[in-house]
A and B are shown apart, each in its own frame.
Chain A
Amino acid sequence: MSGREDELRSLLVRGLGGDGASYHAFLKDLSGFLRAYLRGRLAGIPDEVEDLVQETLLAVHNQRHTYDRGQPLTAWVHAIARYKMIDLFRRRSGREVLHEPLDDDALFAASDEGAREARRDLAVLLEQLPDRHRLPIQYVKIDGMSVAEAARVTGMSESAVKVGIHRGLKALAALVRQ
């Protein structure tokens, strides 16, 4: 248990330091854990699992600056996943709130690599973003350009490209919540 957590945690910490490969490995492994965890919690609504995995991954990324390096990773991820899950229940019914006690340790107990298609397509939502958000995300995050290249292509400043990515991914999360 703690071995997995330590491994994942060190990937995240290196990712926060700017190591893209470690960060990619962290998100990849995390998505497997989240899928298994949420599949257990959302047994009654299996269609929602992959959407919630994606929503949680987006939240983990957008809020990665709130991770305290001295804090257990399980507690942080668990709190985010639970927040997003309760938000999903609110959206679904407006009444139904889950009071089931949630076991912190269960999160990294099992992993499920079998990603299914999500019902909601983030690529479609991405298209709805304004150009100042959409273009930086398209060029840097999807096409793999550097920030400098994206700035040249779009005519935006480099800092506007960075801000566009940051705000655009938050705007994407807000679109998901609607």
Chain B
Amino acid sequence: MHTDQLVTMLAQGAEPVARRASGRRFAAALLAGSVAAVVLMLALLGLRPDLREAVRDAMFWVKLGVPALLLVAGLVACTRLGRPGLRIGSAGAVLLLPVAVIWLLAAFALDSAPASARVALVLGDSSAACVASIALLATPTFIAVFWAMKGLAPTRPALAGAFSGLVAGAAGALVYSWHCPEMAAPFIATWYLLGIAGPAIVGALLGPVLLRW
């Protein structure tokens, strides 16, 4: 086929293209993934029994705020990474903010605790369950966000996969924190961030395989 014929073929009957299609795609993916994660959490884990008291504790909201901010920054990065020629921009730097905040809080908590209590503050009672549960609750969003990214054209597929995984991990952590009874900053700074990093690493590995176009 001659190039001029290809040009004519591509232009023939080309439909108008909707604006903001990529944002809608990610919004739909996030909604579907989050609903599935909430259902999974309620069915398998349940809300924490002391939720009424917990919502009056500032730490509960810090625990929600960290993954929420990671989620928003990750989503913004995804919508940019999916479009050729756009850089991540400030979304990458915003990512560091919640990490820095929770690490500072953790350092402060560890510093003011007696030496004998420090290990317990980090390990909590549910570290293994935390990482595994976040990974489980991240899975529906992981699939949905990869689907959304697959409809775009990431020119850096490993990075696009990593941020897709990060969004999924953050969504998983956000949902998990309604079940998880842990309230110590060192615990969150360690296991929540590890739980979120897991899907991000898996995403970075799968991106080059799944996101080619």
Residues on A lying within 8 angstroms of B by beta carbon are 15-18, 20, 23-24, 27-28, 31, 35, 50, 53-54, 57-59, 61-69, 71-72, 75-80, 82-83, 87, 115, 117-118, 121-123, 126, 137, 140-142, 144, 146-147, 162, 165, 169-170, 173, 177
- With A62-B213, A83-B155, A117-B2 as known contacts, state yes or no: A28 contacts B7, CB within 8 Å: yes
| Residues on the A chain within 8 Å of B13, using CB | 20, 140-141, 144, 146-147, 165
Is B111 part of the binding interface, using a Cβ–Cβ cutoff of 8 Å?
no
Let me know if B153 and A80 touch, CB within 8 A: yes
| Residues on the A chain within 8 Å of B82, using CB | 66
Bound-state CA distance A147–B15 (Å) is: 10
Bound-state CA distance A7–B86 (Å) is: 21
Let me know if A67 and B83 touch, CB within 8 A: yes
Let me know if B85 and A75 touch, CB within 8 A: yes
B176 CB to nearest chain A CB (Å): 33
Q: Can you list, as one digit per residue, whether each of B13-26 has a CB less than 8 Å from chain A (1) or not (0)?
A: 11111110110000
Bound-state CA distance A71–B82 (Å) is: 14
Residues on B lying within 8 angstroms of A by beta carbon are 1-4, 6-19, 21-22, 82-86, 152-153, 155, 212-213
- Contact partner of B22 (CB less than 8 A), chosen from A61, A65, A78, A80, is A65
- Where chain B touches its partner, the secondary structure class is loop
- Contact partner of A118 (CB less than 8 A), chosen from B1, B11, B212, is B1
A16 CB to nearest chain B CB (Å): 4
Let me know if A63 and B3 touch, CB within 8 A: no
A153 CB to nearest chain B CB (Å): 14
Bound-state CA distance A62–B212 (Å) is: 13
- With A17-B16, A18-B16 as known contacts, state yes or no: A53 contacts B3, CB within 8 Å: yes
- With A54-B3, A115-B2 as known contacts, state yes or no: A20 contacts B12, CB within 8 Å: yes
| Residues on the B chain within 8 Å of A126, using CB | 1
A23 CB to nearest chain B CB (Å): 5
A9 CB to nearest chain B CB (Å): 13
- With A140-B12, A177-B212 as known contacts, state yes or no: A57 contacts B7, CB within 8 Å: yes
Most A-side CB within 10 Å, residue of B2, B3, B21, B22: B3
- Contact partner of B1 (CB less than 8 A), chosen from A31, A59, A123, is A123
Extra pairs beyond A35-B3, A65-B18, A66-B83 (14, CB < 8 Å): A20-B13, A20-B14, A27-B10, A50-B3, A57-B6, A57-B10, A66-B153, A69-B19, A71-B85, A118-B3, A121-B1, A122-B1, A141-B9, A170-B213
Bound-state CA distance A82–B17 (Å) is: 24
